[in-house]
A and B are shown apart, each in its own frame.
Chain A
Amino acid sequence: MKFIKNHLMFILPLMAILLGIEFFLVFDRTTDTYEKGLKEGYTMLVVSKKPVELATFQTLNRHISSSEQIARDGIVSEVAKGVGKSTSAAIIKALPYFYNLGLDAYLKSSELETIKKDLKSDTNIKRVETFGGSYNSSYRLFAFIKFTLKLFIVFMTVVSLFLIIKQMEIWKYAHKERMRVMEIFGAPLMLRSGILFKVAFVDAILASILVSALFLYVKFYWAAQSGIDMMVENQEVLFRVTDMGILLGSSLLIVIVAVYSVVFSNKGVEE
């Protein structure tokens, strides 16, 4: 019982760190798609007197990644319903050109203002419409969530690391007598603390497996049944095989740091 408790006290904080790391990875990936989605979904509306090439837009501002002309015929036919053919031709002639401009990144509203100004510097361009208001608030919320999550993960990692080191100290205390006897008979540090390394490695592997299993479960069972669009759409990026390696590597690194910090904190156990 005590044995299980001792291990849990080590595995749980380690799992907390690993969960944090995995959340971080998944969050980065899903928001990457989200960011891309926002970017691709977002366009500026430009009204110009004459046709403008994409290259021309791009010389005005390098953030413009695509331009799509809105079909004028459609507009005209809507406006000029029931009007004679010659009149509609006249309307077409008088009608300016409309473009949807795509941007290459998720930009702040101040940057959007710059683009607007840059575009307007061309006399050919009559109007530029951005949707700055809603764009700005969703971007801010997005940045805030991202920042909070990162802060939380860092905080949790630090707290968990302390717990891990505390548990290591308890172990070291439990093995103090044996380590001392071994020291008297000339055992080098590595041999003396071998048991700590062994237990820590086993727990590191266990924690990695548990966290991987949890995410695999979420990916293959829960995500599909959750009915949450975001989960269903991003099922593929929820957990990747390489993540298992990252988790195992991180947990081994953490336990090595923890064991070393405890073992070297007080080299020769004095009487």
Chain B
Amino acid sequence: MSNVIHASNLTLSYDNGEKQIIKDANFSIKKGEFVFITGPSGSGKSTLLKSLYGQLKPTEGDLVVGGLNLTNIRQRKLQELRTHMGIIFQDYKLVNEWTVAKNVVLPLMIAGYSTEIQDTQARRLLKHVKLSEHADKYPLELSGGEQQRVGVARALAKNPVVILADEPTGNLDDYSSNVIWDLMENACQQLDTTVLVVTHKIPTIFSLPYRHFIIESKGVYEVH
């Protein structure tokens, strides 16, 4: 099976290389794998995720995602790569002046799908995350758990190759968290999507086999 993500001697830093966060990391992730990333606060979990969607360029080493080396990627290629990613944030990052339905189909809008397709897909996705009756509401009219389901639906909208999630359940109670985990397991299992989740607590009820990386003192280690 092919690697969706491959890092070799990956070094990540801020402030023009002065503030090193991750040093010489080596790891590969295959298609359809589910990966948890944990580590102390400030260890660089979000930083690693940022590098994976091209928000932070590697200082040294190589980082290949979906066959593209992010070390020297062009803006246009990066934009295209991002259209194959579903990204989920702890603070949801929904567009508050758009309806729930419009938020969900943002990836389809970017890909240039017709409004008819967007409408039908919005209905399908919102049904999938059990938010059908909230389609015409605005994000701030929803609870945190509901907003994050909108975030998950948006991430799934275009059947992404990889889902990157940064503490997706960080602001949610156990019940809402389990709904989110369920949706992500589902995507991994049914659609063979690669899923990387940063979390401080691996869910106790999780039925899929998964890999677990820990980030600590600038290193990325796998726990077996």
Contacts and interface: CB of A to CB of B under 8 A. Distances in A.
B79 A187 contact: yes
Interface of A: 177-178, 180-182, 184-188, 191, 270-271
Given A177-B95, A178-B95, A178-B97, A184 B53 contact: yes
B95 A185 contact: no
Given A186-B110, A187-B110, A271-B55, A181 B94 contact: yes
A189 to B, nearest CB: 9
Nearest to A179: B95
Given A181-B106, A185-B154, 4 more contacts: A178-B97, A181-B94, A182-B106, A185-B85
Contacts of B218: none
Interface of B: 50, 53, 55, 76, 78-83, 85, 87, 93-98, 106-107, 110, 154
A109 B179 CA distance: 91
B82 A188 contact: no
B3 to A, nearest CB: 21
Contacts of A184: 53, 55, 82, 87, 93
B29 to A, nearest CB: 20
A197 to B, nearest CB: 16
Contacts of A191: 110
Contacts of B55: 184, 270-271
Nearest to B55: A271
Q: Which 8 A-B pairs have the closest CB atoms?
A: A186-B82, A186-B83, A186-B79, A187-B110, A178-B95, A181-B93, A185-B107, A181-B95
A270 B54 CA distance: 11
17 contacts: A177-B95, A177-B96, A178-B95, A178-B98, A182-B106, A184-B53, A184-B93, A185-B82, A185-B107, A186-B78, A186-B81, A186-B82, A188-B79, A191-B110, A270-B55, A271-B50, A271-B55
Contacts of B96: 177
A181 B79 CA distance: 12
A93 B96 CA distance: 100
B62 to A, nearest CB: 21
A178 B94 CA distance: 8
A270 B57 CA distance: 12
Contacts of A270: 55
B94 A185 contact: no
